Chain A
Amino acid sequence: MPIHEKSLIRPEDLRRQEKLTLEGVDVSGDWSTFIGTRVITDYNEQMQDEIAALPGGEYIHRCWQCGSCTNSCTVNAIEPRFNPRYWIYLIRMGLEEELLRDKDIIWQCVSCNKCTYACPRDVVPEGVMKATAHWLELKGHTAPSPSTVFDEEFSAQVFATGKIEDGRVLRRFFAATGQALRQPWLESMLRGLIARLPLTLLLKLGLATLIRPRTAGWAGARAAISEHVAAQKQAERRALGLAAQEGAHR
């Protein structure tokens, strides 16, 4: 049926045809806008198990939809679309299409863990949010979030040398996320450091940015960590039914 009250319809469900004739009737143009069906026609039966296979998602099947997580949520207070209770339901029942509508909000969890302490069923909703954001990235629905990019740079440095060098982490994080190196907050922090830290410590810091020191005897640890991380990533990809190697988006 052509419709007039378009504001009531989800924008993605509006269908407007430039040129269409149905049974001899011209239904082209704005006056004959159609609505796509809202009917859900199937469940993604793997979804709950896939999220549960990722770190943080293990207890999702305990949820009984009481809403304690959403009620206690820091982000929900300022962004009503951020609704952990609802997403947990969508995942558990395999309503993937509905979850994907919110894919660009889910990663915004600030990990305050108020939900973790409010949840009467010990679902650990904060973990589920983490696992869900991770799932969305692995499945290619979202680009890696800034925090994922940061984490990867941070861990890559630890794995390589046993240490991090803050300047290098920041430089590479800014480069990977397209941010300028000159940030007012960073400059003011650096000025503060230079003004307050003892000279010997400043020299040490400066030296470290140039020569990248390593933890002594790190090679063995590095090998073990790399092996573990690779196995973990492979297990996650297998649980999600993805090819063993990382996909196109990373």
Chain B
Amino acid sequence: MTDLPVLVVGAGPSGLSAAHALARAGRRVVMVDKADRLGGAPILSGYARLVPSGEWARDAIGGMVRRVEADPQIDIRRGATVASFSGDPGAFRVRLSDGTEFAASAAILCTGFTHFDSVNKPEWGFGTYPDVVTTTQVEQMFSSGKGVRCPSDGREPERVAILLCVGSRDRQIGREWCSKICCTVSANIAMEIREALPKSSVYIYYMDIRTFGLYEGQYYWESQEKHRVKYIKARIAEVTSDGRRLILKGEDTLVKRPITIPFDMVVHAIGMDPNVDNRVIAATFGVELEKYGHIRKASSYAATGGTSRPGVFVAGAATGPETIDDSIAQGQSAAMAALAVVQDVVRQAAE
């Protein structure tokens, strides 16, 4: 009974961290991921250098993947999802999409998020103009080693605009939350572009800047003082083209004047949506979602990483926009909570 494995769903930063922590504590783990390789968004979406370490995602998160893959305590099921989940803490029944069934003592949902699809904001030109790209695409330009180039003709952009809050803080499209990381990621990308293309200029169009905590110095001010990135308080109205370059229209709010400025490349700082599969996940595991569709967290003061169902825990961006470092911390924390469940079952059995 007590040596039943813990089910970890999702192999991104929080899942990898939870699985590793459980294995180190001597528990067996079944790790399930719907993708055919581990690593989650940082690996599958080809992130480049991570905030705030500056390490490459393939080294940092890749290292976590290799550590989990090498661990005999962890049974990895790639390309699989959980089809049904029933029972009580200490004795859950799990059936996977490939038909295999097993018992688990607890489950940790590390199911992450889905990148916002910029096509849902057509006025900003994504899908219409090839030189309108997303932060994820710029990450891929760096991680592939090809560098930042305009997709239309491969030229180095002389002037780049980054638009913040694409798919965040926007009631028009039902996304009222702040995605938390895009300001910092955008400042990081802006500095990387300025380093790679010293002749380029990078402008960030913002409503508020939320480079929280220590990111204030390392990203917000470093980008301005050292890399001369410009921050303009304006929400761009539309992105069009004069046939040669992209044209940004909006209001420079501090000058109270309309702007119509040419750019070579426009980058959408896309937000973090709830995982598109969250309704299915919620129904399968019998856990509640909060009003935007993220997995609802139980009160942090009683136990960390709880959901609305005892014995089922949650960590990372599944509960809302989250940083990689915090996702990793939450993975470990949820592992601790799952261990406590197992201990409780043992104690109750002994009494």
Contact = CB atoms under 8 A, between A and B. Distances in A.
A40 B254 contact: no
Interface residues of B, number: 17
B255 A39 contact: no
A93 B225 contact: no
Contact of A40 (B221, B224, B225, B260): B260
Given A48-B228, A49-B228, A61-B228, A89 B254 contact: yes
A45 B201 contact: yes
Interface in B232-277: 232, 252, 254-255, 257-262
Interface in B52-97: none
B230 interface: yes
Contacts of A39: 257-260
Contacts, number: 45
B255 A98 contact: yes
A61 B224 contact: yes
Nearest to A40: B259
Nearest to B254: A89
Nearest to A97: B257
B252 A42 contact: no
A92 interface: yes
A238 interface: no
A194 B160 CA distance: 68
B201 A40 contact: no
A40 B255 CA distance: 10
Contacts of A62: 221, 224-225
B225 A41 contact: no
A174 interface: no
A65 B252 CA distance: 14
A41 B263 CA distance: 11
B225 A89 contact: no
B222 to A, nearest CB: 11
A93 B230 CA distance: 7
A221 to B, nearest CB: 37
B254 A65 contact: yes
A98 B255 CA distance: 8
Interface of A: 38-43, 45, 48-49, 61-62, 65, 86, 89-90, 92-95, 98
**A-B pairs with the 3 shortest C-beta distances?**
A39-B258, A40-B259, A39-B260
Interface of B: 201, 203, 221, 224-225, 228, 230, 232, 252, 254-255, 257-262
5 contacts: A40-B257, A42-B262, A45-B201, A61-B224, A62-B225
